Chains A and B, each alone.
Chain A
Amino acid sequence: MLLITNIMQEKLALSPLEWKFMEERKIVQQLLSCEATQEGYPTVIPKTSIGGIGKTSRARLAYNDERVTQHFDVKIWVFVSEIFYAKMITKTVTESATKKICKKEMDALQSKLWGLLHRKRYLIVLDDAWSKDHIEWGKLRPLLRGGLAGSTLIITSRSKKVAMMMDSPIFPYHLKGLDEDDCCALFRQRAFRRGEEEQDPNLLPIGKQIARKFGGLPLAAKTLGSLTRFEREDREWLLVENSELWSLNVNHGGILPSLMLSYYHLPIHLKHCFAFCSIFPKAYEIKEKLIHLWMAEGFLQEGSNHQKILAMSTSRICCGWFSFKMQKNMMMAT
């Protein structure tokens, strides 16, 4: 009975969003209480989920928690992605900690890293790891020795096997998606401007049906919400709801049906603009020159007010894909 009361109280004290991230609270607690491990290795916390659940966002919450920041001497976040070499990780870790470009020789990098981590309590996040290369993981392991007790390594990955590459005794946290109501709330937030739900009463029931197909993925809810924001006709929403793409779960090289659907709804020249973005490596910092590259490729129609086309194209892509909105004819972050 006492237990139930406590849980209820705790639940009341938390905002809905915080309640969702209870798992992160657990991880924060775990980060703060990590004890010494064998031979000076860090404690490894593996976290897995399918893509689009929000692994990175949730790990960020724990990483940015004030108590966590105070607890650790050094905090380093590394976006890993598909290419994985111990040397590259060492270089990135060292550079993000020192904020300087480092030499490429492994010996120099190793001693620099040792200097950074030795006798410090550190937290390193290896975000979105893909590699199952035992040799490279094996090279990385000894480099992370030498920190104080409580030092921790978080590995996020879509694959359980990858998350376990550092031989952690801790079983991976498998993150779950949002429930249907939350998914729908997220979708509505994107799909309707303030007061629009009342203006178009037919759309909401269709929207609820669409939201059921998201499988709890926040990314799907946000993307399709942004897409339907431009459509005010029942017909368009029904097309989304009844699309055949929803049943093509396994095809499309593992791409989520909701994202595929959003892509198909883009006008043809924006499809080109979007596909063109695949020439940038993952996590590449895309700057304003992207628009110039689109122009050079001839994706933006000519003959009319160029500035307007640019603003329209980018804002349309941005709303559907880049999640931006047009305001005073300029791109602004949402």
Chain B
Amino acid sequence: MVFFQDAEKYDDGNMNCYKMHDIIHDLARYVSGEEFMIVEHDLLPFGLVQTCHSCSVGEVGSFTVPEALYEAEQLRTLLLVGVEGLKDIPFKLFSSFKYLRVLDLNSCGLASLDKSL
């Protein structure tokens, strides 16, 4: 009840899905500083991206990855959460982030992946 609300359970009682309480989310955002971020097109803070290790692009209804994000060379985790309707995966994603370990394209609405992947 503290951290998550509206959690769903599997039939066997194990947890399936959690949501963070919004105030706890504020705290997480506060303590994470510049290392973990939610990135939005207009609000990408200048100079911060260098230190960013993990981020989600969370703007509803956008169709592109923000150009400035490519400067975050240290990026390890990238979740494209709000980028609905991305037509192709920009090749730059792979050429820019040498240390990328996780790329989540689940909610992009892509029909197929390029054969080279």
Asked if B14 and A260 sit within 8 Å, CB to CB, the answer is no
Q: Is the CB of B21 within 8 A of A332?
A: no
A residues engaging B (CB < 8 A)? 51-52, 56, 81, 83, 88, 104, 128, 219, 222-223, 226, 252-256, 259-260, 263, 271, 274-288, 292-293, 296-297, 318, 321-324, 330-334
* Residue B98 CB within 8 A of the other chain: no
**Interchain CB contact under 8 A, B102 and A283:** no
Contact B27 A259 (CB under 8 A): yes
In the complex with contacts A287-B16, A318-B3, A333-B7, A81-B54 CB distance below 8 A: no
Contact (Cβ within 8 A) A334 B26: no
Q: Tell me the complex Cα distance, A332–B24, Å.
A: 20
In this complex, how many residues of chain B approach chain A with their Cβ under 8 Å: the count is 45
Q: Which 3 A-B pairs have the closest CB atoms?
A: A278-B28, A275-B32, A322-B3
Q: How many A-B residue pairs have CB under 8 A?
A: 135
Cβ contact within 8 Å between B19 and A283: yes
Q: A279-B55, A296-B77 are in contact. Are A322 and B4 (CB under 8 A)?
A: yes
- Give chain B residues whose Cβ lies under 8 Å from the Cβ of A282: 20, 22, 25
Q: Which residues of B contact A322 (CB under 8 A)?
A: 2-4, 18
B15 nearest CB neighbor, chain A only: A331
Given contacts A252-B30, A321-B2, A323-B3, whether A279 and B14 have CB atoms under 8 Å apart is: no
Quick check: A286 and B32 within 8 Å, CB to CB? no
Nearest B-chain residue to A276, judged by Cβ: B36
Question: Is there an interface contact between B2 and A333, defined as CB atoms closer than 8 Å?
Answer: no
Q: How far is A333 from B1 in the complex, measured between Cα atoms in Å?
A: 9
Determine if B77 and A274 form an interchain contact, defined as CB atoms under 8 angstroms apart. no
Cβ B1 vs Cβ A222 within 8 A: yes
Q: A334 touching B19 by the CB < 8 A rule?
A: no
